[in-house]
């Protein structure tokens, strides 16, 4: 069984030492889904607070840049690119976030944080219309780079 790297031999949490790793290009994509009733989805363009999808996109980008401040053992990374795509689908809003860097550690947490915060922003911008909105399906879609190699969700 593989050991979890965020714990020392005594079981105490620690930040992983990545100083011995090579810098490689790292890319990750993650998603989230915000389940919204059809009647509320129709009202999104006329939201009096502004366009919730565009605000969510900007919030996701900002969140990716702050990931190490939010997740205690994440390394601060110089991101070379972050993108958040927010689209209306049947039953809700799908958010797809991507992050890229050239570094000694991956950007999975940055992509996941971007997707999660964008989803929370859609909720915040629409909660006055419906309190039953659900956020679901937050997960990593794919990642590339680094010692562990590539991953693609099936």
Q: Are 59 and 74 in contact (CB under 8 A)?
A: no
Residue 124 annotated to the active site: yes
- Write down the catalytic residue from 83, 85, 124, 137: 124
**Residues facing 93 on adjacent strands:** 34, 88
Active site residues: 124
């Amino acid at each position: 069984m593989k050991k979890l790297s965020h714990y020392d031999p005594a079981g105490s949490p620690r930040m992983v030492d990545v100083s011995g790793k090579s810098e490689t290009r790292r890319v990750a994509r993650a998603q989230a889904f915000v389940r919204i009733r059809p009647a509320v989805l129709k009202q999104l363009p006329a939201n009096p607070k502004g366009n919730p999808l565009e605000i969510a996109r900007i919030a996701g980008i900002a969140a990716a840049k702050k990931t190490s401040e939010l997740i205690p053992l994440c390394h601060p990374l110089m991101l070379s690119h972050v993108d958040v795509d927010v689209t209306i689908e049947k039953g809700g809003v799908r958010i797809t976030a991507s992050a890229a860097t050239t570094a000694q550690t991956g950007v999975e947490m940055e992509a996941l944080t971007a997707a999660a915060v964008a989803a929370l922003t859609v909720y915040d911008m629409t909660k006055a219309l419906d309190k039953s909105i659900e956020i679901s399906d937050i997960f990593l879609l794919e990642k590339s780079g680094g010692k562990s190699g590539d991953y693609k969700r099936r």
